[in-house]
Structure 1
Amino acid sequence: MIPAGDAHQALLAARRDRQPRTRFSTSDDPLDAGWGHQVQALDRKARTAEGEVLVGMKLGLNSRAKQQTMGVPEPIVGFLTDAMDLDVRGAAAVVAGTTQARVEPEIAFRLAVDLDRAVPVWRIGDLVDGVAVALEVIDSRFVGYRFGLPDVLADNTSAAGFTVGEWTPLRRVGDLATAGCVLDVDGAVVHTAAGAAILGHPLLALSHLSRHLAAQGEVLPAGSVVLAGALTDAVPVRPGAAYGVAVRGLGSLTLRIPAQV
């Protein structure tokens, strides 16, 4: 088994050199989710030591179809830092550090309270201070986005950047499960979906996250952002393109990629 520290260094090199690598997990060395979380924890420690600030968490692979496509049996959890905030750092700076970037439409939640324990489904709404439409930029450090569960966890669930729209109180947005989503590129619709694409209901992403945090003994403070997971398939990032998302009840958001990055 490759040591977690060695894998962390290999992924740092892949990101620095913008050169994706082959997956770590194989039939001869299957690894496991615990190993992936160890590598992710090393990445998070290194980033915060360099001055990045944890601002939230993200979930991924929340649909059964995506799990089957990627060979991953369950939703995955990663972290978000201020250096990934496209509105703060800028899309050009973030995208310039990627190799095979893609964009996904998301629903974002803002925590009203510290999240430090598993929360029953019927109380999930009490956790939410606001909800918003969002876009995430992902960038796998594995060739062709081919990975197993421990690999993608080690790679912080392919997190690269994110941008969030205007926050709206949860009570004003209606049923998120039936909220329609449209993703367009340069004004042309490329994907549509409904909120139920995220685990049957986007709020269930928070339930999964609460169990994950409890198992890891972690606390996510009030005010943190949680990306619930992609509503549709991701689309490749293209220099000069504009990516728009609209979700009923949440409004719309556009991410413009500079022509030169």
Structure 2
Amino acid sequence: MTTASHAARSLREARLARVPRRPFTDTDSALDEDWGYQVQDLDRAERLAAGERLVGAKLGLTSRAKQRTMGVAQPIVGFLTDAMQLGIGEDEQVLARTAQPRVEPEIAFRLARDLDRPLSPSTAEQAIDAVAVAVEVIDSRYAAFGFRLPDVVADNTSAAGFLIGPWTHPRQAGDLAAAGCVLSVDGTVAHTATGAAILGHPFRALVHLSEHLARRGDGLPAGAVVLAGALTDAVPVRPAAVHRAEIRGLGAVELVTGAP
């Protein structure tokens, strides 16, 4: 079996060189989701040792359609560091830092308290103090985004970057499940959805994350960011383009790229 340390090193090399590789499962069918999280843990430890700071978590495969495609019954979880967060003017660097970037619209939550125990659907809203529209940049370390479940978990669910819009108090955001989302590129609509695309209700992403962390003896501190999962399919990041995600009740956020 491919060792977790070998896989973590190989994925790091692919990320830094911006040269995608073959999925590990192409040659090792014994790999599973637990192996993927072992690789992810090593990646996170190496990034933190190099000076990056853990700022949150992200969920993937939160739509039922994507779960059916991957043959799984629940989302997957990755981590976010400060090096992934895009600030004002930094979105133009996306194409220079990635190999095959795509962008997708997300709902972001900010934790009001430490996430150190499982939440229930009725307590999830009390665990946050703010919500925002966000865009996530994904960049698979596998050629043409071709992978199986263990591969994408090992690759930190294709995480590459994220940009968060203005924070809003949860009570001012309205019904997140019913909130309409529009993803557009240079003013042309690419995809639409509602918040219900995330497990039926975005708060269920928080419940799943809390259960996942509890099983692994892990947690997140107050103030951490949680990306609840893509509301729509991703679109390729284009040079010199405006990639805009808008969610009713939360406003909009734009990823603006420079020329190649």
TM-score class, shorter: over 0.9
Partner of 2:236: 236
Relative to 1, partners in 2 of residues 1:26 and 1:237: Cα closer, same or farther, differing over 3 Å? same
What is the alpha-carbon distance in structure 2 between the residues aligned to residue 89 and residue 34 of structure 1? 38
Shift, 1:253, TM fit: 1.0
Q: Which runs of 5+ in 1 are unaligned?
A: none
Partner of 2:40: 40
1:207 aligns with 2:207: yes
Question: Deviation per CA, 1:159-198, whole angstroms, max 9, x where unpaired?
Answer: 0000001111111111100000011100111111000000
Contact 1:129 1:169 survives alignment (8 Å): yes
Shift, 1:71, TM fit: 4.3
Q: How does 1:13-28 map to 2 (within 5 A)?
A: 13-26=13-26
Contact 2:8 2:42 survives alignment (8 Å): yes
Relative to 1, partners in 2 of residues 1:89 and 1:70: Cα closer, same or farther, differing over 3 Å? farther
What is the alpha-carbon distance in structure 2 between the residues aligned to residue 71 and residue 186 of structure 1? 34
Partner of 2:162: 162
Shift, 1:92, TM fit: 3.2
Question: Deviation per CA, 1:9-50, whole angstroms, max 9, x where unpaired?
Answer: 111111122111111124852311111001001110111111
1:76 aligns with 2:52: no
Partner of 1:258: 258
Give TM-score scaled by structure 2 length: 0.96
1:197 aligns with 2:197: yes
Partner of 1:179: 179
Question: Deviation per CA, 1:48-94, whole angstroms, max 9, x where unpaired?
Answer: 11111111100011011112334444211000111101116812334
* Overall identity of the aligned pairs, in %: 61
Q: How does 1:109-188 map to 2 (within 5 A)?
A: 109-188=109-188
Relative to 1, partners in 2 of residues 1:216 and 1:89: Cα closer, same or farther, differing over 3 Å? farther
Question: Deviation per CA, 1:199-220, whole angstroms, max 9, x where unpaired?
Answer: 0000100000000000111120
Which amino acid is the alignment partner of residue 223 of structure 1?
Answer: G
Identify the range of structure 1 (20-29 vs 71-80) with the bigger mean alpha-carbon deviation: 20-29
Which amino acid is the alignment partner of residue 215 of structure 2?
Answer: A
Give TM-score scaled by structure 1 length: 0.96
Question: Deviation per CA, 1:72-129, whole angstroms, max 9, x where unpaired?
Answer: 4421100011110111681233431211100000000000000011111111111011
What is the alpha-carbon distance in structure 2 between the residues aligned to residue 120 and residue 193 of structure 1? 25
Aligned residues: CA RMSD: 1.4
* Number of matched pairs: 260
Which amino acid is the alignment partner of residue 101 of structure 1?
Answer: P
Q: Which runs of 5+ in 2 are unaligned?
A: none
